[in-house]
């Protein structure tokens, strides 16, 4: 058991750690979840933490009136990059990271990406601590977003793209990653999200059951691919524990 602690910012109850929970805890990482779903507010600093994960949510990265903890979250993401604390932003978390570091987020002109989609990793991912094994390959992932980071922070390395979103995965510095897709999500999470937004799916001419079933059929591959990523993130955290 390591002494490594990871701060996890959870924006809403149905957007938790998913399959990452078991991968991280089995790797020996202690998780401290904060945010509006917890009795713990988002802290002002990363003191006492060896890693940071910022999860997804239905708000935008600058919806500070709706979600007043977002300024503190953006500050933590900027601090994580500056201090080279292993940092991972997922969906909204990636958008918050891009915004905090001088990038730009917009409504995706290609429209929302929802359900199971293919993500193509470039050769730039070769040697990356999280995604090196996926270099120059295409893998399935769950998507559920209508915003995208159309401009990455200065110096960021683009690692993966999809047909509907150029900036699907990126790295800033040696230890900070943003992913627009949801590596933590399996079919149960997709089912929860579909149940929360039947009207939105209908407007996209999508049938909730069909969306969920496509994800369910891919659950074994999703679990294998993305639990491996979570374990590698834990290795980075433990290797750099302060």
Q: Which residues 6+ apart lie within 8 Å of 109 measured at CB?
A: none
How many C-beta atoms lie closer than 10 Å to residue 84's C-beta? Answer: 12
Percent of the residues in the chain that have a pLDDT greater than 70, as a whole number: 99
Look up 184 and say whether it is catalytic.
Answer: yes
Average pLDDT (113-117) is: 97
pTM (2 decimals)?
A: 0.97
- Kindly state the percentage of the chain with pLDDT values over 90: 96
SS3 readout for 181-217: CECCCCHHHHHHHHHHCHHHHHHCCCCHHHHHHHHHH
Residue 105 has pLDDT above 60, yes or no: yes
Using pLDDT thresholds of 50, 70 and 90, give the confidence band for residue 242: low
Q: Mean pLDDT across the stretch 135-159?
A: 98
Average pLDDT, the chain: 97
Does 52 have pLDDT greater than 90?
yes
Catalytic residue chosen out of the listed positions 11, 91, 113, 148: 91
Which one-letter DSSP state was computed for residue 27?
Answer: T
Judged by phi (left if over 0) then psi (alpha if -120 to 50, else beta), residue 127 lies in left
Question: What does each C-alpha distance from 204 to 97, 197, 218 come to in angstroms?
Answer: 28, 11, 22
Per DSSP, the three-state class of 6 is strand
> Does residue 153 contact residue 109 with C-beta atoms inside 8 Å?
no
DSSP 107: E
The total number of structural domains in the chain stands at 1
Tokens read off for 180: 């627009």
Per-residue pLDDT at 142 exceeds 90: yes
Does 165 participate in catalysis according to the annotation?
no
| End-to-end Cα distance, the chain | 15
**What pLDDT is stored for residue 240 in this prediction?**
80
- Over residues 73-83, the mean pLDDT reads 99
Q: What is the mean pLDDT of residues 4-10?
A: 98
In CATH, what number is assigned to the domain containing residue 205?
Answer: 3.40.50.880
* Residue from 11, 113, 145, 182 carrying the catalytic annotation: 182
**For range 102-107, the mean pLDDT:** 98
Count CB neighbours of 235 within 10 A.
Answer: 17
Instruction: Give the pLDDT confidence of 16-35 residue by residue, as tens digits.
Output: 999 999 999 999 999 999 99
pLDDT at 42 over 60: yes
Structure tokens belonging to residue 147 = 């915003």
At 203, list the tokens. Answer: 């407007």
CA atoms of 209 and 215, how far apart (whole Å) = 10
Strand partners for 142: 116, 182
Q: Which domain holds residue 169?
A: 5-239
Q: Catalytic pick from 113, 148, 165, 184?
A: 184
Please compute the mean of the pLDDT values over residues 123-149 and round it to a whole number.
98
- Catalytic, 182? Answer yes
Rounded average pLDDT over 43-67: 98
Residue 108 has pLDDT above 80, yes or no: yes
Q: Compute the average pLDDT of residues 178-196.
A: 97
Would you say residue 1 has pLDDT above 90? no
């Amino acid at each position: 058991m390591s002494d490594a602690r990871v701060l996890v910012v959870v924006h809403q109850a149905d957007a938790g750690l998913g399959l990452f929970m078991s991968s991280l805890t089995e790797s020996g990482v202690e998780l401290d979840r904060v945010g509006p779903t917890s009795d713990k507010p988002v802290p002002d600093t990363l003191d006492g933490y060896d890693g940071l994960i910022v999860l997804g949510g239905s708000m935008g990265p600058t919806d500070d009136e709706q979600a007043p903890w977002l300024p503190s979250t953006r500050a933590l993401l900027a601090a994580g990059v500056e201090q080279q604390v292993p940092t991972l932003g997922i969906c909204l978390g990636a958008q918050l990271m891009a915004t905090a570091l001088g990038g730009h987020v917009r409504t995706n002109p290609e429209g929302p990406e929802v359900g199971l989609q293919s993500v193509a990793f470039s050769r730039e991912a070769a040697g990356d601590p999280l995604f090196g094994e996926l270099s120059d390959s295409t893998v399935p992932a769950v998507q559920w977003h209508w915003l995208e980071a159309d401009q990455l922070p200065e110096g960021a390395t683009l690692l993966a793209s999809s047909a509907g979103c150029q900036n699907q995965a990126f790295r800033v510095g040696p230890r900070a990653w943003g992913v627009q897709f949801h590596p933590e999500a399996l079919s149960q999470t997709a089912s929860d999200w579909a149940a929360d937004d039947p009207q939105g799916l209908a407007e996209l001419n999508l049938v909730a059951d069909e969306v969920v079933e496509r994800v369910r059929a891919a659950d074994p591959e999703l679990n294998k691919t993305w639990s491996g990523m979570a374990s590698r993130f834990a290795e980075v955290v433990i290797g750099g524990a302060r």
